[in-house]
Structure formats: C-alpha cells, structure tokens
Amino acid sequence: MPKNKKDLVYCLQKKGFIEADNTHHKYYVYHTIDGKKSKIRTYTSHSGKEISDSILSQMAKQCKLTNKKFSEFLECSLSQQEFEDEVKEHI
C-alpha cells in the first residue's frame, strides 16, 4: 500500500535516519542508537506525494529488510533496537 512521502520521511527520521547534506538526491543514512553512522542508506523518490509499493520495496532492500519488516519498521511495531538486531551484520 503506497505511503505518504512526508509520513515516510518522518518515520525514517524518528528511527535514526538522517538526511545526507549536499546531495542532489534525497537520501537518508542510518545512524545507530549509539550515534554511529552506518552503511545503511535509502533514497526517496523526487516526484509526487505518495511513495509507490515498488519504491517501498526498493527502500526495504536498501535497508536490508523484507517488505514485511520494513512495513513494521515504518508503522513503529518494529523498534529501532529491533531494527539494529535485524541488520547488525550490515551496520
């Protein structure tokens, strides 16, 4: 199900993703609970107010999560600590 872009960005930032500066594309880099910058990053679409299912699927892969886990992450049923536990080998 498509997501509102503003809501999606809010969820990412609430869970430790910080918008990268000085870039043409809007991408967000994950910073751990301890404040360390990680290798995990994701991009958002430039166009529209809605993020399509196909873009959400790509974002899930960039975040090293399944589509289901990424959806849980955005809906806040997967905490930031649980996210880190899920992707620890990529941090």
> Where do the domains of the chain lie, and which CATH numbers do they carry?
3-90 (3.30.920.30)
Alpha carbon distances (Å) from 68 to 31, 46, 64: 22, 24, 12
Distances (CA, A) of 66 to 10, 25, 71: 20, 24, 9
Q: For the segment 8-45, what is each residue's pLDDT rounded down to a tens digit?
A: 999 999 999 999 876 677 899 999 999 999 999 998 87
pLDDT at position 49 = 86
d(CA 66, CA 24): 27
Residue 10 has a pLDDT of: 93
Using an 8 Å Cβ cutoff, are 72 and 60 in contact?
Answer: no
Reported pTM: 0.89
CA 81, chain centre distance (Å): 14
